[in-house]
Amino acid sequence: MGAGDTTRRAGLKAYAKLNVGLRVLYKRPDNYHELRTVFQTISLADRLDVAFTPADGTSVTIEGTPEIPDNLVERATRLVLEELSLQADVRFLLKKHIPSGAGLGGGSSDAAAVLIALPVLAGRVIPMERLLVLGAQLGSDVPFFLRGGTALGLGRGEELYPLPDLPSQHCLLVAPNVHSSTALAYGDLSRGLTTNALQNKLSSFQQDVWSGVDKSVPVVNDFEKVVFSRHPELPAIRDRLMDSGATFAGMTGSGSSIFAFFDSEASRKRTEASLPDQRTFAVSFLSRAQYRSRWQRALKLHTKGNEWPPRNRYDR
C-alpha cells in the first residue's frame, strides 16, 4: 500500500548502552544465567525512519541494512500489531551506526524503538507494563531501552531498578572489527562458575553500585577473561587506552567494544587521534530525563503531554 494521507511518519534514534560492570553469578534451571549489571544509555545511535499505513493485511519492509536473520525490528513490529489487533503496512529505513556483536545492544535498542513509537503512530496505547512483557519476549536487554538512563539490571538483565544518574564522563568507545559470540562467551564462562565465588561477586558488585560506580572503584566484567582469551587484540586495545591516560578502560557486555573514561576532553581527543587503525566513537552518557526528552522530540508531531511511554494525540 502506498503512502497517502493515512500514513504517519517519524524519524527515530535508537541509542546504544554500556554495561558498567557485569557479574555472572550462576546458570539457572531455565538455562539462563543470573546477572548483576549497571546499564547506561549513551549517545551513539542507529537511525530508524518509519512509515505506518493502515491496511487490510500486514506487511513489514526494512531497507537500508544488510539482511539480518531473525530481525528484531520485524519481530517487534508484528508483536505490537498483534497486541493492538491491527493490520498495517509498516516500512522502515534503518541506518546502522551501532556496531553489531559489540556488546552495545544495537538490535535490542532498535526493537525497543519500535515498541515505543509504533503504538503512537497507530493512535493506540500500550501500557508500560505490557511493553516490558513484549520487550522481554524479544531479548533480555530490550526492557532497559524502554526506560533509559542508568539502571540496575538483575535476573537476565530484564529486572530493572532505576539508579541515580552516573556523573558525566569524557568517554571514548573503541569498536574493533571483532564479533564476539555471546553464546560462546557464556559457554566459556559457565565452566568456571563456582559456588564459592558467588558471595564474593555479590559483595564486590554491591560495592560498585553503592559507590555510584566511581572511577576510583575497579569495575569488573566477568566476560573479559574468557572473551579476551579468544580475542587477544581486545586486551591490547584496553592496555593502549590505559597507557594513553584513561582513568578506566573495560569491555561492555559480552564484547567486543572497549570503553574508556578520561579526565579531560583534551585527553580523550589525543587518545582518539592515536588510534587511527581503530573504529572509535566519542560518546556521552544520556540520563533518563535526556533519553526521554529526545524521544519526546522525535515523536512531537504525534504526541501530547510528557507522559512515558509517549502518549499519542490521536487516542480518544
At 160-202, the pLDDT tens digits run 999 999 888 899 999 999 988 888 888 888 776 765 566 666 6
Q: What pLDDT was estimated at residue 3?
A: 43
In this predicted model, what pLDDT tens digit does every residue of 227-283 receive, in sequence order? 999 999 999 999 999 999 999 999 999 999 999 999 999 999 999 999 999 999 999
The H or E element that residue 59 is part of is: strand 59-63
CA distance 13 to 276: 27
Domain segments of the chain: what residues?
8-164+287-307, 170-283
Using 50, 70 and 90 to split pLDDT, how confident is the model at 203?
low
CATH architecture of 8-164+287-307: 2-Layer Sandwich (3.30)
- Point out the catalytic residue in the list 110, 141, 208, 222: 141
Angle between helices 106-122 and 128-138 (to 10 degrees): 140
Tell me which CATH homologous superfamily contains domain 170-283. Answer: GHMP kinase, C-terminal domain (3.30.70.890)
CA distance 118 to 75: 13
Cβ-in-10-Å burial (0-12, 13-18, 19+) of 57 comes to exposed
Q: What pLDDT was estimated at residue 2?
A: 41
Q: What pLDDT was estimated at residue 4?
A: 46
- Point out the catalytic residue in the list 17, 46, 208, 222: 17
pTM, two decimal places:
0.91
Give residue 184's identity as a one-letter amino acid code.
Answer: L
Q: Is 141 a catalytic residue?
A: yes
User: Is residue 309 reached through a cis peptide bond, with omega within 30 degrees of 0 on the bond before it?
Assistant: yes
